[in-house]
Amino acid sequence: MYDLAIIGGGPAGVAAGVYAARKQLKTIFIAESIGGQSTDSVEIQNWIGTEKISGLDLAKALESHLKAYAGTFVEIKTGTRANKVTKIDGGFSIQTGSQTYEAKAVLIATGGSRRKLDIPGAAEFENKGVTYCASCDGPMFGGQDVIVVGGGNAGFESAAQLLAYCKSVTLIHRSAEFSRADAATVQAVLAHPNMKALTNTEPAEVKGGSFVKSVVVKNTQTGETTELAATGIFVEIGMTAATDLVKDLVALDEWGRVKVDGKSQRSSVLGIWSAGDCSDGLYHQNNIAAGDAVKALEDIYFYVKAN
């Protein structure tokens, strides 16, 4: 039986793997790939300690760091999907397609996937103006007119970031009210002179040449369409957490994310921790994911040594 099973290969999983090796915990590291969602980013400017790096290069750096420290303590299984975690005597069983691993403790760092904009042109212009991360890509649109799709907290938080450097930000929301966003945040963001919100509106088509030039939007009540000039479209329509493997084991929030204690990253089940986008933390960023995973590892170490 391993001391620890780390499931997931993004910044959270890798940070946990490095710390597990340094703490000499016998660990099985299970991931389909290393890098997480950021592998899709052309340029990342907010990974602390690195001025800018592509998503693919970040993935390579994470993998290199993990392998450099793994030694005899962390056994790395990439190209492997963990399908189910179950409670057993003395720990947990992790079932993959062809193998079963047992561990005293488990860190769920499986991340999630952004819900994609499913309209003509959206896939064609992804990373060519259509983006799913304002924190990652926003600064590249300084002085430009951009659009945010989504009227929840994530949409307004992205708009607030973009207003710091974009010429204008237009938020489009399919409903009449911003019922899923904090009222104070909505009021503060909409008060900005360069901010505009269109309610009862949804995107219908993305247009451009080699890069995004505009988006066609449709009024959900009248059916009328309008073409808005923009070079950037920031999509914030939700995320699907990759937590099916523990959905029958730990408490999840309404979006399927693992509920954790923010002080330790412990889940509702003793012996299971979670960090990164699959957990219910208030904010989700690469640096936060890595930090939360380190926090979890500190707690896991004492748990394992006490058991």
Average the pLDDT over each of 133-137, 194-198, 256-260 and give the range with the smallest value.
133-137
pLDDT at 137 over 90: no
- Inter-CA distances, 51 with 47, 97, 136, 148, 164, Å: 7, 39, 12, 25, 19
In this prediction, residue 154 has a pLDDT band, given cuts at 50, 70 and 90, of confident
224 to 122, 150, 204, 206, 218: CA distances (angstroms): 20, 19, 11, 16, 6
Taking 80 as the threshold, does the pLDDT of residue 152 lie above it?
yes
Q: What would the pLDDT profile of 213-245 be if each residue is shown by its tens digit?
A: 999 999 999 999 999 999 999 999 988 899 999
Burial 152-188 (b: 16+ CB within 10 A, else e): bbbbbbbbbbbbeebebbbbbbbeeebeebeeebbee
Q: Are 277 and 13 in contact (CB under 8 A)?
A: no
Task: Give me the mean pLDDT over the 15-33 stretch.
Answer: 98
Q: Indicate the pTM of the whole model.
A: 0.77
pLDDT at position 180 is 81
